[in-house]
Amino acid sequence: MRAATATAVGTGRGGAWPAAVLLALATLACLPILRKGMPWGHDTRTHLVWAEHFARQLAAGELYPRWLADVGDGFGAPVFFFYGPLAHYAAAALQPLLPGPTGLPWRLAVTGWLAVCASALAAYAWLRRPLGAGPALFGAATYALLPYHLLVDFVLRSAFAELVAFTWPPLVLAALERARETPRAALAGGALATALLLLTHPPTALTSAPLAAGYAALLAARARSARPLAVAAGQLALGTGLAGAYLATALTHGRFVDEDALYTGYFHYARWFLERPIRDAFLVVVYAHAAAAATFCAACAAAVLATRRRAPAADPAPALALSAAAAAGALLFLMLPPSEPLWERIPLLHRIQFPWRLNAPLVVATAACAAATLRHVELALPRLRPLAQGAAGALVVALLLFQLGAVTFDGSPFGYVPASEALVGRVLATGESPPEYRVPHERDPRELFPGGARAAFVEGAGEVRVAGWRARRVELTVRAEGPARVAVRQHAYPGWRAELDGVPSGPPVALRAWGVLAVDVPRGAHRVALVLGPTPYERAGWAASAASLALFAALVAVPRRAALSPSRSAR
């Protein structure tokens, strides 16, 4: 009887009401932001600049704006050779509805709200299959409302890409849930979610990968089959291939910029362990979140262990709750100073950058632990079911009130970007990418361009005019009195090539001290073009994505063809 009940609860769909509840909760939690605008978090200024230039180049017809031609006082920067573009594609899609400088911060705010809604629905889609509608609703609400997700990533840090990335890990895990019954669909769906995660925020993908592996191992043990492990490996491999067009440059172009700035000095991981001196208000929330989430999971695990014998034999909830609690404990340990030897011995951990970033997978583990514990209590202790459901509802309300109180309290340090054309214009005019996304140079390149010119003679004399200026292509008309060298207001970067009077003339000169391009021209009148073509790594990445897309299409099409074959044979 208990096993039958467990099966019925685990496969229940729950109707549309859970989705409506989750959308309402996510909207309520984001209501102050939807009323006031994008928070002034740590990264808001950077993302305003990037979002504007990305959308501008996208609207001009560039399908993948890697090189932002006009950032950094017009010298350009290879931002999206390195940074995941998907969140900015989402923001750019809102440009027709929220145009102009006053609409720019609202595009980020609305995209963030939609991402919170999507993440809640994704978590519900994952947890509903093994745990049923009610516990899944509790887990999904917890996932959406935990402080690291909302208060830290949306408000304090304004970590735009990481906020959007919360949508994808539950979908990877949801696909794994189907690995035994429909392995092809599970492989295709999980690979797509993995690719979207990589295209959004690679550090979150890195921190989520061990969770996916552990979840696959849990499913494999439950099913007594290695198929979930094989599907998980396939998801990671195919998802990485699908994201190859981005990853090929993100993983290989670091030597062309100051990538070390991401992992050394102020940003070295050893400075950011829990219990180190707290230098910022947001760290209080970050560390309190980690400790509270891990403690909550430990309490859930203790409750499950104490009553596990009363659970139905087929119920997956106890194993999931205990595994999630173990993951939460491991993640908390990796944020503490005693884990430093592991960080020293595993270079891949350095790519996470900050130990407290492990709060992102901790949110996943906490949501799973919360939902599984509620499911376990409902089945193992049916008399306590109303009490457990009431406690779950109270926790959700408390998380919601905490979020609303934190972002609306009059004395809070959080501000919001006003819908001011003048202010946003100043941000865009002075916007610069962080050092790790800039081309290195020793001297101020503005020295070469008096009056803010876009091109100027650095050797010889004559007249130069800009005939065309768009991302990855600059056209000049030059009249030189003798052999001359003309500098162009674009940073030097691999892939630039020059054309003189329509004839390719090889790569332009790189003025390394200033980090800008220059082209040598002979005496007379000439047409000069500088083109940033695809680098070999870009081509390799597109080839990897194309091959992976073909495999993905085959995975999607084959089951459909198989499903159609019986009807065809019946004819």
Residue 550: the pLDDT is 97
- Kindly state the average pLDDT of the residues 353-371: 97
- Kindly state the average pLDDT of the residues 299-326: 93
Q: Write 207-213 long-range contacts (CB < 8 A, 24+).
A: 207/352, 207/357, 207/358, 207/360, 207/361, 208/168, 208/169, 208/172, 208/360, 208/361, 208/364, 209/236, 210/361, 211/169, 211/173, 211/327, 211/361, 211/364, 211/365, 212/169, 212/172, 212/173, 212/176, 212/236
pTM confidence score: 0.93
**79 pLDDT more than 80:** yes
**560 pLDDT more than 70:** no
Residue 570: the pLDDT is 40
Q: Which residue matches tokens 């599970």?
A: 186
Residue 407: the pLDDT is 77
Domain ranges of the chain: 442-532
Domain 442-532 has CATH 2.60.40: yes
pLDDT in tens, 18-50: 999 999 999 999 999 999 999 998 899 999 999
Residue 433: the pLDDT is 75
278 falls in which pLDDT band (50, 70, 90)?
low
Please give the structure tokens belonging to residue 564.
């159609």
pLDDT in tens, 107-133: 999 999 999 999 999 999 999 999 999
The amino acid sitting at 398 is A
